[in-house]
Structure 1
Amino acid sequence: MSVLGEVLVGVAVLVGLIGIVVQVLPGAVLVLGGILVWAIMTGGVEAWVVFSIAAVAIVIAEVAQWVIAGKHMRKAKVPWLTLAVGGIAGIIGFFVVPVIGLFLFFVGAIFLLEWARHKDVPAAWKSTKTAVQATLITIGVQLVGALLASGAWVIGLLIT
């Protein structure tokens, strides 16, 4: 693969990592897609081993995020519907108030739903904090998986 091609793959990986943190882009998909393009263009056993390692890291992270965050939500008795509606509100908020609207609408929707469910502001705020923590857990787990995949790619660059 040419140096320009490797730089473009690096940009895709970097954009994917940023997408995981910002939660606007499908970050893990971009990271894995970039590494897949590199493996196809580079060819050889080493490139495909690197891609396989990256794919396993991302798949494990994707599964782990749901298991860990789900356990956190179940422990606090926050329904998944609340988180789903909060996520949809966050997406809408991103377009209504660029960038910060994502966070504001996400937290606001969760708080309002939990307030309606509990009829108690302190209980609603506790549920809201739990939902935000679960979201941060998913971001962290996804980021670890994507960083491991990115590290495998960097090692692949060095050995090919």
Structure 2
Amino acid sequence: MSLGGELLVGAVILVGLLGIVFPVLPGGLLVLGAIGVWAAIVGGWAWAIFGVAAALILLGEVVKYVVAGRSLKSAGIPNVTIAVGGVLGIVGFFVIPVIGLFIGFVLGAMLAELIRTRSMGAAWRGTVSASKAALITMGIELFAALLATAVWLVGAGIW
């Protein structure tokens, strides 16, 4: 693959990594898709690199849901709190670009917990637990995508 092609793949991977931190795009899938396009163009051994990257990203996806589920379950937070936070986060993203996602998530989780517990203190503790779980999942997904990126960098001979 030409240097320009490798730089383009690297740019798409970077956008995917940013999409994990600022959840606007499906970051892990974008990283994997870019590595897949690279593997299709390079061919041969590059498919092994793609396979390792795909396994890392898939493992990250599984681990993030298991860890988040355990964290929420131990804090006594129901899935509906995350769902309401997610929906209001999406609405918030369009009302206040980018940061509205975080504001909307916190407000949605707080509202769901306030309705469920009828106590401001308990609702705030639930909101903090839900926010921590969301940050943990983001960190796990980012770590897996960074590992997949490192594998691609080694395979592409850039690193």
TM range (shorter): over 0.9
Residue equivalent to 1:124: 123
Determine the structure 1 residue equivalent to 2:26. Answer: 26
Distance in 2, matches of 1:52 and 1:98, equals: 35
Q: CA deviation at 1:113?
A: 1.1
Question: 1:153 aligns to what?
Answer: 152
Which residue in the other structure is 1:70 paired with?
69
Q: How does 1:1-160 map to 2 (within 5 A)?
A: 1-45=1-45, 47-158=46-157
Q: TM-score, normalised by structure 2?
A: 0.97
Matched position secondary structure for 2:77? coil
Post-superposition CA distance 1:69-124 (Å, at most 9, x none) = 00000001101111011111101100011122111111001101101111111100
The 8 Å contact of residues 80 and 112 in structure 2, kept in 1 or not, is answered as no
Distance 1:15 1:114 in 2: 34
Structure 2: state its 5+ residue gaps: none
Kindly indicate whether the alpha-carbon contact (under 8 Å) linking 2:87 and 2:108 is maintained by their aligned counterparts in 1.
no
Structure 1, unaligned runs of 5 or more: none
Q: Distance in 2 between the 1:22 and 1:99 partners?
A: 7
Q: Deviations over 1:29-68 (max 9, x none)?
A: 00000000000001112x1111011000000000000000
d(CA) in 2 for partners of 1:50, 1:93? 38
Would you say how many aligned residue pairs link Structure 1 and Structure 2?
A: 158
Residue 4 (structure 1) shift: 1.1
Give percent identity, aligned residues only.
Answer: 51
Task: Write the letter of the residue equivalent to 2:5.
Answer: G
CA RMSD of aligned residues (A): 0.9
